[in-house]
Structure 1
Amino acid sequence: MIWNLGSINIDNFYEVPHLPAPGETLAAHSFRQGLGGKGANMSVAVARAAAPISHIGAVGPDGRWTVERLMEYGVDTPHIASIDVPTGHAIINVDAEGENNIVLFQGANVRLTEAIIGAALSEASPGDTLLLQNETNGHEYAAVTARSLGLRVAYAAAPFDAAAVERMLGRIDLMVLNEIEAQQLEDATGKDLPALGIADIVVTLGAEGCKWLSGGDKRQFDAYPAKPVDTTGAGDTFTGYLVAGLDRGLRMEAAIDLALKAGSLMVARRGTADVIPDLKDIQDEFDT
């Protein structure tokens, strides 16, 4: 079982001819709204990868539909609190090449209490996994609690904050971050990634695939061919599938391969949680 302490956002997408420059007013070609947030994206990815997932989070009165959407996608939702604070939301500009920039309002995502988190984790069992990102509060309390209960802690270090990551060192078993974040973390700590004391680190490399660091070993994995139209949520899809694969008992190599396949399909779709591929999509595309 996976317990995801994660954000829930209302994503507002604007297709634009190019990403706005400072001071520029730009007309969008189209607008659409959907379910998002790194936490919600990962929960949906886990569910679509056929692993059991319970989401721990919070929404405001404007976000009740997001909880219903998560339920429709197979995510367990009893530990999503409804509070009197606006739901987190994001303004996402996507250009013709599929690149994006994002303005994020955290809202209810950073109003979680230890009582909310503790009540959820009290239902966890040894051997379960706690998944974390940097779009909510409560990471340190959740990680310490999870470790005391015998859970494995997986941490997606995004949006990247070196100080937040440093506070998590010694409390996580698996970390996922991209190449730029990895360099920033090494610069901040003065240590190479293998010296941070984390059992498994996966560094995503975009179109180049990813690398897996475990102990003194390093292994490179090539990406699958893709024609990107929107990179939003691709990293979250990769992480959700990776953690789901491990929860289902796959070896790390097989879980990474599955996650790379899911990510390659995701970048060819426009949207976030609502368009994350499921296992059948992967089987149909890769004939597995």
Structure 2
Amino acid sequence: MTIWNLGSINADMVYDLPHLPGPGETLAARGLHQFLGGKGANMSVASARAGARVSHIGAVGPDGGWARDRLTEYGVDTRHITDADVPTGHAIIAVDADGENNIILFQGANHAISEDQLGQALSSAAAGDLLVMQNETNGQTHAAQLGRELGLTVCYAAAPFQAESVTAVLPYLDFLILNEIEAEQLQSATGLAPSDLPVEHVIVTLGAKGARYFQRGRDPADFAAFQVEPVDTTGAGDTFTGYVLAGMDRGMPMAQAILQAMRAAALMVTRHGTADVIPDLKEVHEARFD
């Protein structure tokens, strides 16, 4: 099977700072690194490194050929990434000494994806394939509707969170992943707790506390996080999502897919960077945690 990812592609500019800046504060960065990023690209790389077949649907600008090449090197099918007349998306990421971050996003080519491009890409999809989206591109609702019509398993990573974006795709979803704060915001907007959402599979990530899995008609299941010393939390959630999707695609029981994804995310927070440093399946299996 194939994971079809309508996903963002960014250049991530990561600045190492002594602490996250406050309003009006100027800080000297202690280091700068550029990585392939964007939630979409991160998830595609994570799923590919977890052993899944991944086809990325997206766009880059005239300056983005390197990003397409990098995705190809990591095993992602890039035939459905088009060239746009606007710059490639990018992110400015500040990381403090404790590994916490804040992020400024420029959408760029990520919002230049046409319905024709999306339809052409998904015309090659087969019933039972997975379709995943995040809130960093245009076309999410159209993609969700099309995915449902084609018999795909429709998945949504609800970040960056906007309640209206989630509610627009909610009727078409089979799988939803969001963090604890986003779950509270969605409940405030809809009146529905995660266990009451009209979605078969819901995962709420809880940061260092782990994750909670809700399946319709069953009691929730809690998964404790592996304890590590974090240096950079950027991309950890995307790594977790990509690994869960790969596990689903490969027919794993959800509990097994979540545990494997938590191992991958735990490794990820011990590394500086985004897509370029996502661990592969061999590293995940060989990792030892206290």
| TM range, smaller chain | over 0.9
Deviations 1:153-186 (A, max 9, x none): 0110000000110111111000000000000000
- Within 5 Å, which residues of 2 pair with 1:178-217? 178-216=179-217, 217=219
Cα distance, 1:193 vs. partner?
Answer: 1.9
Which position in structure 1 is the counterpart of 2:249? 247
Aligned residue for 2:187, secondary structure, equals helix
Deviations 1:83-132 (A, max 9, x none): 11100000001010000011100000011110111110000001100011
Check if 1:145 corresponds to 2:146: yes
Q: Separation in 2 of the partners of 1:195 and 1:2?
A: 27
**AA aligned opposite 1:252:** M
**AA aligned opposite 1:198:** V
Q: Separation in 1 of the partners of 2:35 and 2:265?
A: 19
Question: What's the RMSD between the two structures over aligned residues?
Answer: 0.9
**AA aligned opposite 1:40:** A
Cα distance, 1:282 vs. partner?
Answer: 1.0
Aligned residue for 1:280, secondary structure, equals helix
**AA aligned opposite 2:180:** E
Q: Separation in 2 of the partners of 1:97 and 1:224?
A: 17
Q: Separation in 2 of the partners of 1:274 and 1:100?
A: 18
Which position in structure 2 is the counterpart of 1:50? 51
Aligned residue for 1:140, secondary structure, equals helix
| Residues 266-275 or 184-193, more deviating | 184-193
**Correspondence for 2:223 among 221, 224, 227:** 221
Which position in structure 2 is the counterpart of 1:171? 172
Q: Separation in 2 of the partners of 1:229 and 1:241?
A: 21
Aligned residue for 1:246, secondary structure, equals helix
Q: Separation in 1 of the partners of 2:156 and 2:228?
A: 26
Aligned residue for 1:144, secondary structure, equals helix
Check if 1:61 corresponds to 2:43: no
Which position in structure 1 is the counterpart of 2:11? 10
| Residues 174-183 or 278-287, more deviating | 278-287
**AA aligned opposite 2:260:** L
Q: Separation in 2 of the partners of 1:34 and 1:14?
A: 11
| Residues 82-91 or 193-202, more deviating | 193-202
Cα distance, 1:253 vs. partner?
Answer: 0.6
Q: Separation in 1 of the partners of 2:212 and 2:109?
A: 34
Aligned residue for 1:78, secondary structure, equals strand
Q: Separation in 1 of the partners of 2:216 and 2:110?
A: 34
Which position in structure 2 is the counterpart of 1:29? 30
**AA aligned opposite 2:95:** V
Q: Separation in 1 of the partners of 2:269 and 2:135?
A: 22
Q: Unaligned 5+ residue runs, structure 1?
A: none
Which position in structure 2 is the counterpart of 1:70? 71
Percent identity over paired residues: 60
**Correspondence for 1:281 among 259, 283, 287:** 283
Q: Separation in 2 of the partners of 1:3 and 1:213?
A: 23
**Correspondence for 2:232 among 230, 233, 237:** 230
Aligned residue for 2:59, secondary structure, equals strand
Q: Separation in 2 of the partners of 1:191 and 1:136?
A: 26
Q: Separation in 2 of the partners of 1:20 and 1:243?
A: 35
Which position in structure 2 is the counterpart of 1:116? 117
Aligned residue for 2:109, secondary structure, equals helix
Q: Separation in 1 of the partners of 2:148 and 2:288?
A: 37
Which position in structure 2 is the counterpart of 1:271? 273
**AA aligned opposite 1:75:** V
- Output the TM-score relative to the length of structure 2: 0.98
Cα distance, 1:34 vs. partner?
Answer: 1.0
Cα distance, 1:286 vs. partner?
Answer: 4.0
Aligned residue for 1:147, secondary structure, equals helix
Cα distance, 1:146 vs. partner?
Answer: 1.0
Q: Separation in 2 of the partners of 1:230 and 1:56?
A: 27
Which position in structure 1 is the counterpart of 2:105? 104
Cα distance, 1:201 vs. partner?
Answer: 0.2
Q: Separation in 1 of the partners of 2:127 and 2:170?
A: 21
**AA aligned opposite 2:281:** L
Cα distance, 1:191 vs. partner?
Answer: 1.7
Cα distance, 1:194 vs. partner?
Answer: 2.1
Q: How many residues were matched structurally? A: 287
**AA aligned opposite 2:234:** T
Q: Separation in 1 of the partners of 2:267 and 2:31?
A: 22
Q: Separation in 1 of the partners of 2:192 and 2:127?
A: 31
